Structure 1
């Protein structure tokens, strides 16, 4: 079973995080919600607190197949500032392991130089943070090992793209139909 780590920092966008976690678990993935804090509780941008499954420092990334970053502010900025997460993202990219970020969070990949000459999308106003990317403005983009999404309104579509990446379009389409998201 594929293991996916969804990283939450204080100020994360709740719709994105919960939609992604829910869709991926419905699809049968082993999803670990990772707190970037020193506690298991992470506070969202709209004052919704989520209890994580693991602290960043305790997670064994050798057993993780994909890193996912929900956006929101200041959540995405807090993810970008976390040196340990940046190191893990660079390691994943070097190994061509999948990475995904939505809303403002693609700026984490952009600031690490991972989006150069790749199609990407983000929340409007964060385009300059995607250094060297080919910014499309589409709802969801996939370029090599990186998936990016535009924002909260496309969180389910973004999560379904992750399902498609690992399990194929038919499985993603069937799940979308069951969720009435097609």
Structure 2
């Protein structure tokens, strides 16, 4: 099936985070959101969304860790040493790690992208220097999935579903993704 933990730090990008959770659940993955201090977490556009669970060691039992972006959500993830340690744990145990937009800088700080193809927000080739930065919408290399920004959670989520062996062809059709010009 696949179990995915999505972190919700204060200032997370709502469009990215909620779209990821929605699409992964639609695609048949068990997907839970985790907050740090409060049950309801304020996003960067002042939307308060209730997290499924509080951040804890249970996350280590998930198959994938997802780090959405946002301001200051990405920075809040970056400054949280428990998050950095968790990313390193996932990498050391060959578990999947996915990040998009400003969440990708956490991967650099955790030193888990060396020699791996990655992408990120515009200008992030200067921030993701240990990885092999490519200008693609969503990238999967070894155990890392990355994507660019607020307009890319659909291809990012489809890439995650494919990593778990899901065929997203019908899902794309049902969501009118191809009709809207998605690739």
Please say whether Structure 1 and Structure 2 have the same fold, judged by a TM-score greater than 0.5. Answer: yes
Q: Is the 8 A contact 1:113 1:131 kept in 2?
A: no
Map residues 14-33 of structure 1 onto 2, 5 A cutoff.
14-33=14-33
2-structure distance, mates of 1:175, 1:96: 28
Decide which structure has greater helix share.
1
Map residues 163-174 of structure 1 onto 2, 5 A cutoff.
163-168=161-166, 171-174=167-170
- TM-score normalised to structure 1 length: 0.93
Q: Which of 122, 128, 131 pairs up with 1:130?
A: 128
Partner of 1:176: 172
Point out where structure 2 has 5 or more consecutive residues left out of the alignment.
Answer: 179-183
Q: Is the 8 A contact 1:13 1:152 kept in 2?
A: yes
> Per-residue CA shift, 1:40-94, capped at 9, x if unaligned?
111111111110001103x512421100011011100101111111111111101
Q: Report how many aligned residue pairs link the two structures.
A: 178
Partner of 2:59: 61
Q: Which of 153, 156, 165 pairs up with 1:155?
A: 153
1-structure distance, mates of 2:73, 2:125: 17
2-structure distance, mates of 1:135, 1:91: 23
Q: Is the 8 A contact 1:6 1:34 kept in 2?
A: yes
- TM-score normalised to structure 2 length: 0.93
Partner of 2:181: none
Q: Residue 152 of structure 1: SS of its match in structure 2? A: coil
Point out where structure 1 has 5 or more consecutive residues left out of the alignment.
Answer: none
2-structure distance, mates of 1:129, 1:40: 31
Partner of 1:49: 48
